[in-house]
């Protein structure tokens, strides 16, 4: 079974990093952000720091403007 995590209108880069870290711990790696507040949220320093070793999940993640 394939599992995809979708975050809607995220407004805090640190939360995106924390989600990536939690996903990696559970063995998931498919993350999609829909209309994030910051267009570069996946590359923001705070997201990378909070990902704490799950930067591969952030690199694979994608950002889209609609479903």
Q: CATH code at 13?
A: 3.40.1280.10
Region 37-43: mean pLDDT is 94
- Six token digits for residue 24: 């990696």
Region 31-40: mean pLDDT is 96
Region 28-41: mean pLDDT is 96
Contact by Cβ (8 Å): 20, 31? yes
Please enumerate in sequence order all residues whose Cβ is within 8 A of that of 40, keeping only pairs 6 or more positions apart, or say none. Answer: none
For residue 21, the enclosing domain spans 5-64
For the chain, how many structural domains are there in total? 1
Please enumerate in sequence order all residues whose Cβ is within 8 A of that of 12, keeping only pairs 6 or more positions apart, or say none. Answer: 37
State CA 47 to chain mean position distance.
8
CB neighbourhood size of 67 (10 A): 8
For the entire predicted model, the pTM comes to: 0.92
């Amino acid at each position: 079974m394939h599992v995809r995590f979708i975050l809607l209108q995220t407004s805090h880069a640190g939360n995106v990093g924390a989600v990536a870290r939690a996903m990696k711990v559970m063995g998931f790696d498919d993350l999609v952000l829909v209309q994030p507040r910051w267009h570069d949220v996946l590359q923001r320093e705070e997201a990378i720091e909070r990902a704490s070793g799950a930067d591969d999940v952030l690199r694979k993640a994608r950002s889209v403007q609609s479903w």
